[in-house]
Structures are given as C-alpha cells and as structure tokens.
C-alpha cells in the first residue's frame, strides 16, 4: 500500500490518501512480458504543496550530483503509485511498487557466486547461530525477557502469512534491537562481523503443515536470504520464488529476489522450521544509493522540515564513512581481499571471519574463536555496536528525538517493507 503525500500551505497537517494494496498475484499468472504499469493520482490542487518535492529536495541536498538519481526516480515512482510488473520468461512474475530501475532481476542468486561472501561465512558458522537459538528456545523466560518474541505478521496482507508464521527481530531497517540482540549476542556479532549488508535480521518460525501464500514483497532493491538452522529434511520444506523451487537445508543459505511472486510451505507433520532471515541491499546498488534509501527510511520517520533536515544530516555523516563509487559487489571483493591479505601475511584474523576456501595456513576456524569467549564478552561487543550506532544517529540528528512519525516497525511482518509501505506509515 502506498499513499500520495501532500501538505497544506500552512503545514498544519499531512493528508495521506490510502490506496488499497492489490491482491497477491498467483504464481501461474500469464502477465504480458515486460509490462510496466504506472498508476498516477490527480495533481495536487493549488492550495496544496507536494510533500514529495520537499523529501526529494532534502535527498538531493545530501549527496553529490547524479549519485542518487535512481533513488530519486524510485521515490517519484512510489509517490505516483507506480507499479513495475513484468513476466520474465522462464523466471516468473515480478511486481514492485518500491522499484529501482536497472537492477538484475532473477528469482534465486548463486550464494557461492562471489556476491555474498557474508552468507558463506554464516554458513560456516551456522552451528553457533543454531545452538544459540536452541538455547533461547529452551529458556522459559524468553518471551518475557525479549521484545516482540515470536509475534505474528501484522501487515495488511498478513493473512497471506497465516497465523503460524512467527518472527523474532534482531535488526529492523538498519537499527539493531538491543533487547533481543542481548539475548542472541553471538548471532548479532557474527552477522555484523561478516560485513553483512543487512537491512533486517530476524529468526523465523514456520509450524508444521503451514505455508505462506503466493505474494510479492513489492521491493526490488532489498533482497531476502534464508539460512537453515533447524529445518525438516528436504523435500519437506521449501520456498518457491518465481518458477524456481529450493529446499531449506541446515547450514545452507539461499538468496532470493522476493519482488518475484513467492510462497513457502512446511510439509512436515511434526517439525517446526527455523531459519535466520536477512533482508539485504541488492548487490548492484552503490554505497550512495544504499545511503539514499536509508535517508528515505529516516525521512519517513519524521516528515517535518526539521525531520527532513536531520535525515539529510545523518546521510552526510554516513557518506563520510565510505567510497561512494563502489557497488555492493565491490564491497564484497574488498572484504575478501582484506581477509586474504591477513591470511597470506600470517598476521592472524582476530575477530575477522575466515573464508570457506582459504589457504591451508588459515588459523583455526572462527567457530572456535567465537564460541570460546564467554557470552558476556559477546554481549558487550554487541551492546557497544548498538550504542555506537545510536550515538552516531543522535549526533548526526542533533541529538533530538522526534515523535512526528514513529518508526513503522514490522513486528513480524516477514519483510517486504519498501518505500510504499513506509509511505503508508505517515500519520
């Protein structure tokens, strides 16, 4: 669902106009190939000033010229209630209202093809994550101690998820959830140490004989990965994306473009399916484009002039930490090269992760290095990471906490939170 955003000349209030989300498109739909449908609302009256223009101006003010043009175009597309819908021959139907043009569209990507070294690292260390999850599940006080533990989907299309789809969130739209991270410190530390380009991180539980109906996450610039932690043996549990079906396996990852119509099912009679889901930036986005989308996330939290200015300030602060010419693939290659250099130099990796095909001289696997420290050490590391993130956010925004538009938390929605859904959250 998306809205047309406008504000009165006096700025007295925002006037969101809701648009009912389209029903999920069945996987077998024979849509015309390459069709892109754009629905555009009537222009604002002379007494209204488009808020979308204010957001766009703030976005462009925070970045060098021509570096976030695709993000700007995506914003315009969303605010115009645009829908990109295409039937990719042999791949399936893709539908996205939060859409950045020019990104490769394919249902599943090869985890070991070079674009996802962070997933390779998580595969190598999945036993640490699995064991920490099992310990958490065995804790009778988990729901009391945690924040939103195993909550059901609450999105408008939540009926597609069913009542037995449950999540436990560690990160939401780039912000780590401190309470839950303290309960699962090793998992949070591993995800961060692997240089994962994450937007959301959460455990997901699917009960026996339940599934998620065919649907789209409506966003093509944020992809979805699953790491099997405790799953029924293949072929009892599966995810179909477009026209391709893959089966979850313990310790194996999968990376998918969930702007394609997709569905899941757990055919086991008795066993729950547990996976770690990471929503991450499409690898073809540049650093500036990732930052630009993050700016929009921040902007939709507070659409006042002060809020937009604070979002732009945060974006400038983030831009000072990276080389804006890089794509996600460049970042992945840099990470692999840095690890290789340390291995070859024999200096040891410290807290860094090893690569699956590292030379024989590689130090002991990270599984031992991470598992050995006491949980309190890991908890301290994650706490420091969260505190540093929050401090940077507050400093960039002048330390001011606004309540114009509270962050539209997913609360177990299971992903799909693109610009359209964020725009819907305006109050």
247-278 pLDDT tens trace = 999 999 999 999 999 999 999 999 999 999 99
Largest CA distance in the chain: 70
Quick check: 43 pLDDT over 50?
no
Q: Which of 138-147, 184-193, 401-410 reaches the highest mean pLDDT?
A: 184-193
pLDDT at 397 over 50: no
Q: What number is the average pLDDT over the span 158-183?
A: 79
345-387: per-residue pLDDT in tens? 544 333 343 333 332 332 333 333 333 333 444 445 555 555 5
Task: Give exposure, 292-329, as e/b (b: 16+ Cβ within 10 Å).
Answer: bbbbbbbbbbbbeeebbbbbbbbbebbbeeeeeebbbe
What's this model's pTM, rounded to 2 decimal places? 0.72
Query: How many C-beta atoms surround the C-beta of residue 272 within 10 A?
Result: 18
Superfamily name and number for 1-427? B-lactam Antibiotic, Isopenicillin N Synthase; Chain (2.60.120.330)
pLDDT attached to residue 169: 94
Enumerate residues 6+ apart whose C-beta is below 8 A from 350: none
Q: What DSSP assignment string belongs to 178-205?
A: HHHHHHSHHHHHHHHHTT--EEEEEEEE
Q: What is the pLDDT of residues 208-218, one digit of tens each?
A: 999 999 999 99
């Amino acid at each position: 669902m998306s809205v047309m955003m406008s504000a009165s000349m006096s700025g007295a209030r925002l006037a969101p106009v809701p648009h009912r989300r389209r029903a999920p498109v069945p996987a077998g739909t024979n849509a015309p190939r390459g069709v892109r449908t754009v629905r555009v609302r009537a222009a604002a009256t002379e007494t209204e000033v488009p808020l979308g223009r204010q957001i766009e101006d703030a976005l462009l003010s925070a970045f060098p010229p021509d570096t976030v043009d695709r993000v700007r175009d995506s914003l315009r597309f969303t605010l115009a209630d645009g829908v990109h819908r295409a039937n990719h021959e042999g791949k399936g139907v893709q539908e996205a209202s939060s859409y950045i043009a020019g990104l490769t569209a394919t249902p599943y990507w090869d985890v070991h093809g070079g674009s996802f070294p962070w997933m390779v690292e998580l595969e190598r260390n999945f036993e640490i994550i699995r064991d920490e999850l099992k310990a958490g599940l065995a804790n009778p006080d988990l729901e009391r101690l945690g924040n939103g533990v195993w909550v059901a989907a609450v999105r408008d299309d939540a009926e597609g998820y069913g009542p037995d789809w449950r999540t436990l969130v560690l990160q939401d739209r780039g912000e780590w959830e401190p309470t839950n991270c303290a309960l699962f410190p090793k998992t949070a530390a591993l995800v961060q140490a692997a240089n994962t380009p994450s937007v959301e991180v959460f455990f997901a539980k699917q009960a026996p004989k339940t599934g998620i109906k065919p649907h789209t996450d409506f966003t093509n610039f944020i992809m979805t990965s699953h790491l099997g932690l405790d799953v029924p043996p293949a072929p009892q549990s599966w995810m179909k994306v477009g026209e391709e079906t893959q089966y979850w396996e313990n310790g194996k990852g999968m990376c998918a473009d969930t702007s394609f119509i997709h569905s899941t099912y757990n055919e086991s009679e008795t066993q729950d399916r547990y996976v770690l889901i990471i929503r991450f930036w499409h690898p073809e986005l540049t650093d500036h484009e990732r930052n630009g989308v993050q700016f929009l996330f921040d902007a939709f939290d507070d659409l006042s002039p002060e809020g937009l200015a604070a979002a732009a300030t945060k974006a400038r602060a983030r831009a000072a930490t990276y080389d804006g010419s890089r794509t996600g693939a460049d970042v992945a290659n840099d990470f692999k090269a840095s690890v290789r250099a340390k291995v070859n130099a024999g200096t040891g990796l410290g807290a860094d992760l090893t690569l699956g095909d590292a030379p024989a001289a590689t130090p002991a696997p990270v599984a031992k290095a991470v598992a050995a420290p006491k949980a309190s050490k890991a908890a301290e590391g994650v706490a420091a990471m969260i505190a540093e993130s929050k401090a940077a956010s507050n400093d960039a925004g002048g330390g001011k906490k606004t309540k114009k538009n509270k962050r539209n938390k997913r609360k177990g929605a299971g992903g799909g939170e693109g610009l359209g859904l964020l725009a819907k959250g305006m109050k």
